[in-house]
Structure 1
Amino acid sequence: MITNPGRDPRWVSRPAPPEVLAFHRALPGYSPTPLVPLMNGVLVKDESSRLGLPAFKALGASWAVHRALPDVTGGPATIVTATDGNHGRAVAHFARRFGRRAEIFVPDGVHPDAVRAIRDEGATVVHVPGDYDTAVKAAASVRRGLLVQDTAWPGYEEIPGWIVDGYSTLFAEIDTQLSRQPDLVLVPAGVGSLLQAALAHYRSRPDPARTRVVSVEPSTAACVAASVAAGHPVTVPTARTTMAGLNCGTVSTLAWPLIRPGLDGCCVVTDAEVSEAAHRLAAAGIDAGPCGAAPLAALPAIPTTGTVVLLATEGTAANPAGPATSRATAPPLRASPSARSHGQHRTHD
Structure 2
Amino acid sequence: MSPFIHLNPSAQEWVYDPAGAQGGSQEGTILAFHKTLPDYNETRLHSLPDLAAELGLGSVLLKDESNRFGLPAFKILGASWAVYRAVGSYLGLSVADGSAPLADVGAKAREAGVRVVTLTEGNCGRAVSRMAAKIMGIPTKVYVPKYMDEQTRNKIRSEGAEIIEVDGAYDDVIPVAQREAESSDKAILILDVSVDGFDVIPEYFVQGYSTMLAESDRQVLELTGGKPATHAIVPVGAGSIGEAVTAHFKSASWRKEFGGAKVISVEPTTAACLLESLKVGRSVAVQTEDTIMCGMNCGTLSTTAWPVLRDGVDASIVVSDLEAHNAVQELKARSVLAGPCGAATLAALRRACADAKQDLGLNDTSIVVLYCTEGHREYSVPTK
Q: Give the corresponding residue for 1:132.
A: 170
Identity %: 41
Structure 1 residue 203 corresponds to structure 2 residue 265: no
> Aligned match of 2:332 in 272, 282, 305?
282
> Aligned match of 2:79 in 38, 61, 81?
61
Contact 1:80 1:145 in 2 (8 A): yes
Please list the CA deviations of residues 22-78 of structure 1 after superposition, one character each: whole Å capped at 9, or x if unmatched: 211232311111000123211111111111111011111000011112123354422
TM-score norm. by structure 1 comes to 0.87
Figure out how many residues of one structure are paired with residues of the other and give that number. Answer: 323
Q: Give the corresponding residue for 2:369.
A: 309
Contact 1:269 1:298 in 2 (8 A): yes
Equivalents in 2 of 1:42, 1:5: separation in Å? 23
Contact 1:13 1:199 in 2 (8 A): no
Q: Give the corresponding residue for 1:71.
A: 89
Please list the CA deviations of residues 131-171 of structure 1 after superposition, one character each: whole Å capped at 9, or x if unmatched: 32332222222224211112212221110111111112111
> Aligned match of 1:293 in 335, 343, 356?
343
Contact 1:6 1:260 in 2 (8 A): no
Contact 1:243 1:322 in 2 (8 A): no
SS of 1:152 mapped into structure 2: coil
Q: Which amino acid aligns with 1:30?
A: Y
RMSD (CA atoms): 1.8
Q: Give the corresponding residue for 1:84.
A: 121
Q: Which amino acid aligns with 1:308?
A: V
> Aligned match of 2:43 in 13, 33, 38?
33
Structure 1 residue 107 corresponds to structure 2 residue 125: no
Contact 1:6 1:228 in 2 (8 A): no
TM-score norm. by structure 2 comes to 0.80
Q: Which amino acid aligns with 2:171?
A: D
Deviates more, 1:15-24 or 1:38-47: 15-24
Contact 1:6 1:231 in 2 (8 A): no
Structure 1 residue 150 corresponds to structure 2 residue 204: no
Contact 1:290 1:322 in 2 (8 A): no
Aligned in 2, Cα 1:227/1:133: closer, same or farther, shift over 3 Å?
Answer: closer
Q: Give the corresponding residue for 1:20.
A: 30
Equivalents in 1 of 2:88, 2:45: separation in Å? 34
Equivalents in 1 of 2:254, 2:118: separation in Å? 37
Contact 1:89 1:121 in 2 (8 A): yes
Equivalents in 1 of 2:171, 2:270: separation in Å? 18
Equivalents in 1 of 2:12, 2:303: separation in Å? 19
Structure 1 residue 11 corresponds to structure 2 residue 11: no
Contact 1:289 1:322 in 2 (8 A): no
The Cα of 1:10 is off from its aligned counterpart by 4.4
Q: Which runs of 5+ in 2 are unaligned?
A: 53-58, 92-110, 222-226
Structure 1 residue 262 corresponds to structure 2 residue 312: yes
Aligned in 2, Cα 1:124/1:313: closer, same or farther, shift over 3 Å?
Answer: same
Deviates more, 1:116-125 or 1:233-242: 233-242
Equivalents in 2 of 1:124, 1:207: separation in Å? 44
Aligned in 2, Cα 1:172/1:255: closer, same or farther, shift over 3 Å?
Answer: same
Q: Give the corresponding residue for 1:334.
A: none
Equivalents in 2 of 1:135, 1:217: separation in Å? 20
> Aligned match of 1:46 in 61, 64, 67?
64
Deviates more, 1:14-23 or 1:185-194: 14-23
SS of 1:165 mapped into structure 2: helix
The Cα of 1:13 is off from its aligned counterpart by 2.8
Equivalents in 2 of 1:147, 1:226: separation in Å? 29
Please list the CA deviations of residues 202-251 of structure 1 after superposition, one character each: whole Å capped at 9, or x if unmatched: 11234265211000111121111111121221222222111111112222
Higher Cα Rg: structure 1 or 2? Answer: 2
Q: Which amino acid aligns with 2:320?
A: T
Contact 2:142 2:162 in 1 (8 A): yes
Aligned in 2, Cα 1:43/1:5: closer, same or farther, shift over 3 Å?
Answer: closer
Q: Which runs of 5+ in 1 are unaligned?
A: 328-349
The Cα of 1:322 is off from its aligned counterpart by 5.2
Q: Which amino acid aligns with 1:89?
A: R
The Cα of 1:283 is off from its aligned counterpart by 0.8
Q: Which amino acid aligns with 1:128?
A: V
